[in-house]
Amino acid sequence: MKVSVIGCGYLGAVHAAAMVKLGHEVIGIDVDPAKIAKLAAGITPFFEPGLPELLVDGVESGRLRFSTDITDAAGATVHFIAVGTPQQHDSGSADLRFVDAAVDGLIPVLAAGDLVVGKSTVPVGTAAAIAARIDESGSGALLAWNPEFLREGFAVADTLTPDRIVYGVDDERATGVLDEVYAAALESGTPRIVTDFATAELVKTAANAFLATKISFINAMAEIAEVTGADVTTLADAIGHDARIGRKFLNAGIGFGGGCLPKDIRAFSARAEELGRAESVAFLREIDAINLRRRERVVDLAVELLGGSVFEKRIAVLGLTFKPDSDDVRDSPALDVAARLHGLGADVVATDPQGIENSRLRHPQLAYEPDLDEALRGADLVVLVTEWAEYRALAPERVGQLVASPRVIDGRNVLDPDAWKSVGFDYRGLGRR
Ligand SMILES: NC(=O)c1ccc[n+]([C@@H]2O[C@H](COP(=O)([O-])OP(=O)(O)OC[C@H]3O[C@@H](n4cnc5c(N)ncnc54)[C@H](O)[C@@H]3O)[C@@H](O)[C@H]2O)c1
């Protein structure tokens, strides 16, 4: 099939390359000329494991092209919308300007029988409004909403072999087209849920709300553990054995971040309020508040460990991205902690395997050191805030030889407290004894 993908960021670039792998011919469109120039040359503009190979294969096959001109989407019969839906600057609502612009750009190129497929995460009700606009345009094109569940760091595998595919449709012809698009995944047994627009939009919002709730739940337990001497990791292991609860997403730490969960729960609250159902998701505001409190907790622990002030103390911050195996620092708790410590006058040296470039754009005031040993050298305190494999695997003896004082805050509860304490470290986890 001939496919266009409008918006080639973390979602769209992976989706475009994956569509080629699934046998389609793809044109990726983005308004960012630098991004398009890189993609067209087979260079991945962000870090995502497995994407460079997929992109190069696609570009070399001649079936994956890129353009900044949306009229180049003409001739494709399926058009995916994968543009950003960030939080508005002055409220929690989703900013739909980019989605609206993508639809404006697409309408003139649509032909009868084409299918526009929304993948961006949008407030419930958006798809129905876009369907009405496409209808009014008289093009004879159809709309489907097909939310995306990929996880950064696993985006390629999640796109090629998703754990479920959801179609929000109002015309069964759209289902037929999507079945053709996803034929390979469907043949391998991927569950397919066909529903209406509103349910499809809400599936995505509800999934992220649930995941955020699970993380903030265990972080709330960490807060209680901290004042009772209980251990949240043992608690999570014990409750996680209950199959109804499950152990995944029950790791207490500095909380969630990234380009999805924080803005999606805020947009959900804002949309529920518009719908007169604010109280139905009022708990999400508390989920958000618990999440943000964990960052403060790390800063408070740093102050405590350094004897009442971080001023002019050298702090090695390990990790900047919101999760490992990504370079994404959007709403990253790790970067936020680094910036807060710097704001208190600490001599912060921040390191990250992939996140330095993006962090520097947001916080140029911070000192960045790509070499881990150099970042650790002479530190009065080590703060681990993103659980990259190399930080999890750090040998406490070696770190002890590099730092000025053996103090460590394990903001992700991934280090072995006994191993660090046994070589003289003052170790603090979150909600850990
Ligand atoms: N990143 C994820 O893990 C993920 C997972 C599931 C869903 N989503 C959702 O997917 C959407 C995109 O997220 P992302 O992380 O890829 O964002 P992103 O910011 O990385 O990418 C968005 C891209 O859209 C481009 N764009 C903006 N306006 C455009 C226009 N009018 N025409 C063409 N391109 C345009 C931007 O230049 C940018 O490259 C969001 O709604 C997000 O919530 C993201």
Integer Rg of the chain from CA? 23
- The residue-averaged pLDDT of 190-219 equals 98
Active-site residue among 225, 260, 267, 299?
Answer: 260
Share the mean pLDDT of the chain: 98
Is 260 one of the annotated active-site residues of the chain? Answer: yes
46 lines ligand 1 (CB under 6 A): no
pLDDT band at 235 (very low <50, low <70, confident <90, very high): very high
Confidence bin at 233 (pLDDT 50/70/90): very high
CA distance 239 to 313: 39
Taking only the tens place, the pLDDT of each residue in 379-400 is 999 999 999 999 999 999 999 9
Would the CB of 8 count as within 6 Å of ligand 1?
yes
Q: Is the pLDDT of residue 160 over 90?
A: yes
CB 311 within 8 A of CB 344: yes
All structural domains of the chain: 2-194 (3.40.50.720), 196-433 (3.40.50.720)
Return the exposure string of 203-215: e unless at least 16 CB atoms fall within 10 Å of the residue's CB, then b: bbbebbbebbbbb
pLDDT band at 362 (very low <50, low <70, confident <90, very high): very high
Q: Please work out whether the CB of residue 258 comes within 6 Å of at least one atom of ligand 1.
A: no
Q: What is the pLDDT of residue 15?
A: 98
Average pLDDT on 79-85 reads 98
Structure confidence by residue, pLDDT tens digits, 192-205: 999 999 999 999 99
pLDDT of 420 reads 98
Atom of ligand 1 nearest to the CA of 122: 41
pLDDT of 66 strictly over 90: yes
* pLDDT at residue 183 is higher than 90: yes
Percent of the chain with pLDDT over 90: 100
Q: Which of 429, 430, 431, 384 minimizes the C-alpha distance to 403? A: 384
Cα–Cα nearest to 268, from 422, 125, 415: 125
Q: Is the CB of 28 under 6 A from ligand 1?
A: no
CA distance linking residue 231 with residue 237, whole number of Å:
10
* pLDDT of 100 above 90: yes
**pLDDT interval class at 433 (50, 70, 90):** confident
Taking CA atoms, 92 is separated from 115, 129, 273, in Å, by 31, 20, 11
Please give the C-alpha separations between residue 103 and each of 118, 121, 193, 333, in angstroms, as whole numbers.
Answer: 10, 15, 25, 33
State the Cα–Cα distance between residues 224 and 228, nearest whole angstrom.
6
> Is the backbone of residue 22 left (phi > 0), alpha (psi -120 to 50) or beta?
alpha
Nearest CA to ligand 1 atom 4: 11
Q: How far is CA 29 from CA 32, 64, 177, 311, 418, in A?
A: 9, 11, 21, 48, 52
Residue in 420, 353, 335 with CA at minimum distance from that of residue 381: 420
CB 212 within 8 A of CB 218: no
